[in-house]
Homo-oligomer: A and B are copies of this chain.
Amino acid sequence: MMLLPDLQLFKAEFFKALAHPVRIRLLEVLRHGERSVQELQAALTVDQSTVSQHLAILRAKHVVASRKEGTTVRYAVRDARVGALLDVSRAIFNAQLTGSQTMLRALRRESRRPPRRRATRPA
């Protein structure tokens, strides 16, 4: 049966694009600015073809855009509101995760400013 308006189908496709741990990580890196495939690969520690495949999916769903620059390709989030989306969902997780101390800590860690690699060793 089914027969639902295309619009809901379209929305579902969009959420599907976010429904994978690798793609979430990709977006959480990309929301801080444009990145090359190499940089993304380094940040995630998954292999090249996997990163490329997930980027292809995000591209197909129009979540990210790619721009060629010489040999490398740089990716960026297409709509800044994707950041807002991740923030709202973070707030929801936060409320939901009252159980797991470990995940709660990880979540809090994420929401702090980008961990600005420490320059000097602590006193």
Contacts and interface: CB of A to CB of B under 8 A. Distances in A.
Contact of A7 (B15, B18, B92, B110): B110
Interface residues of A, number: 48
Nearest to A28: B8
A120 interface: no
Contact of A12 (B10, B21, B92): B21
Contacts of A12: 18-21, 23-24
Interface in A54-109: 62, 78-79, 81-82, 84-85, 88-89, 91-93, 95-97, 100, 102-103, 106-107
B110 A4 contact: no
Nearest to A44: B4
B1 A25 contact: no
A107 B8 CA distance: 9
Interface of A: 1-12, 14-16, 18-25, 44-47, 62, 78-79, 81-82, 84-85, 88-89, 91-93, 95-97, 100, 102-103, 106-107, 110
